[in-house]
Structure 1
Amino acid sequence: MGKKEKALPSQADTETSSLTAIKKTKKQTASMAETSSCIHGSWSPITNIAQDHLFSILLLLPIDSILSFSITCKRFKSIATSDNLWESICRRDWGQTSVEAIKSAADSRCHHHLPWIKLYSQVYQLDSVLCHSLSDQDGDEGFPVPRASHSLNFVSGCLVVFGGGCEGGRHLDDTWVAYIGNDFKKTLNWQKINSGIPSGRFGHSCVVIGDSIVLFGGINDQGNRQNDAWVGQVVFHETFGITMSWKLLDVGSTVPPPRGAHAGCCINNNRMLIHGGIGLSGIRLGDTWVLDLSENLNFGTWHEIVTHHPTPTARSGHTITYIGGNQTVLFGGRGLVYEVLNDVWLFDSSEGHLRWLQLLFELRNIPEGISLPRVGHSATLILGGRLLIYGGEDSYRHRKDDFWVLDISSIASIKMQSITTKRKVSLANMWKRLQSTGYKPKSRSFHRACADHSGRYLFVFGGMVDGLIQPVEARGLSFDGELFRVELMLQL
């Protein structure tokens, strides 16, 4: 979602900060639970806590504790289940930007009071998505041509597409921008930016930092790997429309080896993290680098992150996604011997504690889990601090059209500082497959996806799909040019 506040807070931090409050109220709430009312002929110290102080204490507690508190005493149920409290909880767990975007969308539909506790429950019990086609079915020339391994970002209320590969194995060097805002139209008004830079490429990474995007690496149609970095600034004005400009970023002499088909994301609001990819001579890489950017994005400094084992194996076509706080999730890809992977890794970027942690699970314990291994998929941060995995292909190059939610909140109570370098965490129920309704897009791989500021709407563009080649009887690959929106099914 680009620049985003802490999407899902660490329960370790929450429990540490609220431990004193819990200890002070534990005996009091237990005593209250033994009576039908906390004030009918009896007295408890908690009844003397001012309502605003009690409100603040509740905001420090985990969700289970808040719900438990709401049933201990009739007097406090109205506080613990109030819209004001749960709107504050949503801000705490989802971030200010997501909540304001949801409120803005609701206001545009004349809904002035959102049922926040119900909305919170729906987000974490999500079981389906709704797809809408946003493509111009008439094949208007004012639309990005079909492509794969491009970049797609949501920044300044706009979708931005750059580069990719197209028919004939050619690279593209075009930049397209379309404004969305909160008005989701059936088709978008795309604008082509004729800048001639960066040079044409595919398999690059492009991340959102503030109102800009930062691009790194990629491969051109001569097979040359790149390791340059570019900054694209996007500005939308209601009167003058969209303007966008690219500039080469000054990063000094220390740079990562050239590569493409790597994974990248923005962490901590002003840093770009990259991992793996295909380097020179087609060798798959397993290194991790961070680009620290200046406040004005005029220059940056690369440094390699060297951590103790275990670390993710070399791979390409995987995803790496920032989920808030100091946590970033890596998933899938293609390994050294072309095997398609399904492993999940957590990267902790706390100062002084940079490390990888593998999250173990058994495919046989996940319904339909046998379909999880994939490469060329997308992994997008959605409302609630989870990842929405879509598409990709398996080891037989069968493309997918399934949606999965990856939720690692069950390990939020783990204190990353206390994890040894050799420890692994085994988890269950991380994965949930979602039902898809509405428009039925083609199965695809090496597409790109991004979310709007609310995290409720995702946009998917392009990719490789099954197609027909000459002769007609032979099935082949085709580049896709459709754009569609994926909506998390919530009742506002």
Structure 2
Amino acid sequence: LGRHLDDIWATYVGNRAGTRSSNALTWQQLASGTPSGRFGHSCILVGDALVLFGGINDRGLRLNDTWIGQIICEEPCRMRISWRLLEIGPLAPSPRGAHAACCIDDKFIVIHGGIGVHGSRLGDTWLLDLSDGLQSGSWRRMGDTGPLPSARSGHTLTWIGDRRMVLFGGRGSEYEVLSDVWLFDIGDHLLQWKEQKYDLSSILGELPSPRAGHSATFLFGGKILVYGGEDKERRRRDDFWILDIPALLQFESGNRKMAKRMWKKLRIDGQSPNCRSFHGACVDTSGYCVYLFGGMVDALLHPAESLGLRFDGQLYQVELVLHL
């Protein structure tokens, strides 16, 4: 009890990934001299390597170490990971966990916010430059002028192409749960956050409720799939939402009519995953088949417990289907 894990597993879904028939999985525990056990860290694929940052260890200490995990394929379905601390120089983000992170063009990692020392929520943004081919890296703080997202944890940061990212949701400094949407642009001549505020009367249908611990996965066709998460009472959700990026960008450019096209709730056919938060999600190379794994799910509440909670170990395949 209370021990944070340091093991790494991979699954091979075969040559028919992205189809309804690909339901046979092979799990493999990867041999590696790994970083210490932790949770609330970020771990992002950059080329053929993983970049791990931060997290919270068994003693509740926040971490700010940066690791490179080189993926080594020894045969078609067997691999291992070799870890090393990344040389980053004297500057690094403060220790944290439950931050948001994304990768840009396999050259940069951007992180935002998280839970810092003594449980305080953070609102800073940092960029890790990996243009030296993962041999070394350098952190620098970014975007501290102009309107900024409030401090938060459990939010998502999703790369949408070029040098733009979308931030959504999270839990704020007063433990409120958020549903705001921000664009962040780190282009050569522009470095700014911009909140996408819209008049609720212009929205047709529902909007996603405020949430933290959700996933936000970029799909083929310029859409972000938002799934699950939890509300301010820590009630977990199992709903799927599409955030349409072309509509979002037109709205950001001044076309207010695009607000009604930004969000769409998806209908679920077949088996639905249980309500969950703080799970993992990724998309396959097709861009329309998403895999969801693990997370916190509700459990039966026993008389001696203050809350019912368990951790799920199932992997779900979610296929996005276009109805013409």
TM over 0.5: yes
Give the structure 2 partner of residue 323 of structure 1.
160
**Structure 2 residue 295 is matched with structure 1 residue 458:** no
Letter in 2 for 1:478: R
TM-fit CA distance, 1:403: 0.2
- Two-structure CA RMSD over aligned residues (Å): 2.5
Which residue of structure 2 lines up, in the alignment, with residue 485 of structure 1? 317
For these two proteins, the number of residue pairs brought into alignment is 318
Instruction: Give me the whole-angstrom Cα distance separating, in 2, the residues matched to 1:460 and 1:240.
Output: 21
Q: Percent identity?
A: 53
Could you report, residue by residue, the CA deviation over 1:351-401 in whole angstroms, capped at 9, with x for unpaired residues? Answer: 1311111111345635232x5210000000011121000000111111100
**Structure 2: how far apart are the matches of 1:358 and 1:249?**
33
CA distance in 2, matches of 1:245, 1:183: 28
Which residue type is aligned with residue 65 of structure 2?
Answer: D
1:407 aligns with 2:244: yes
Aligned to 2:11: 178
Read off the aligned partner of 1:482 and give its amino acid letter: Q
- 1:415 to partner: Cα distance: 8.8
Moved more, 306-315 or 467-476: 467-476
1:174–1:196 Cα contact (<8 Å) kept: no
| 2:188 is equivalent to residue 351 of structure 1 | yes
Partner in structure 2 of residue 360 of structure 1: 197
Name the structure with the higher strand share.
2
Structure 1 position 443 matched with structure 2 position 275: yes
- In structure 1, give the amino acid aligned to 2:96: R
* AA partner of residue 176 (structure 1): W
Secondary structure of 2:126 counterpart = strand
Q: 1:59-458 maps to which residues of 2 (within 5 A)?
A: 168-184=1-17, 185-236=22-73, 238-239=75-76, 241-363=78-200, 365-369=203-207, 371-412=208-249, 427-458=259-290
Q: Deviations over 1:215-253 (max 9, x none)?
A: 111001211000011111224354572232221111111
Query: Aligned partner of 2:116: which letter?
Result: G
Matched to 1:437, the amino acid is: D
1:459–1:483 Cα contact (<8 Å) kept: yes
Q: What is the alpha-carbon distance in structure 1 between the residues aligned to residue 273 and residue 76 of structure 2?
A: 35
Tell me by how many angstroms 1:462 deviates.
0.4
Give, as a single letter, the amino acid of the residue that structure 2 aligns with 1:456: Y
| Residues 219, 225 of structure 2: 8 Å contact kept | yes
- Please, which runs of 5 or more residues in structure 2 have no aligned partner? none
Deviation of the 1:183 alpha carbon: 2.7
Q: Residue 139 of structure 1 corresponds to which residue in structure 2?
A: none
Higher helix proportion (structure 1 or 2) = 1
- Stretches of structure 1 lacking an aligned partner (at least 5 in a row): 1-167
**One-letter identity of the residue aligned with 1:466:** D
Higher relative contact order (CA 8 A, sep 6+): 1
Q: 1:485 and 1:179 mapped to 2: Cα distance? A: 13
Q: Which amino acid aligns with 1:270?
A: K
Kindly provide the CA deviation profile for residues 6-28 of structure 1, in whole angstroms up to 9, marking residues without a partner as x: xxxxxxxxxxxxxxxxxxxxxxx
1:272 to partner: Cα distance: 0.1
Deviation at 1:278, TM superposition (A): 0.4
**1:191 offset after TM fit, Å?**
1.2
- Asked whether the 8 Å contact 1:205–1:218 carries over to 2, the reply is yes
After TM superposition, give the deviation of residue 178 of structure 1 in Å: 1.7
Structure with max Cα Rg: 1
Contact residue 241 and residue 263 of structure 2 kept, 8 A? yes
Q: Is the 8 A contact 1:468 1:474 kept in 2?
A: no
Mapped to 1, the partners of 2:76 and 2:158 lie a distance apart of 35
Scaled by the length of structure 1, the TM-score of the pair is: 0.61
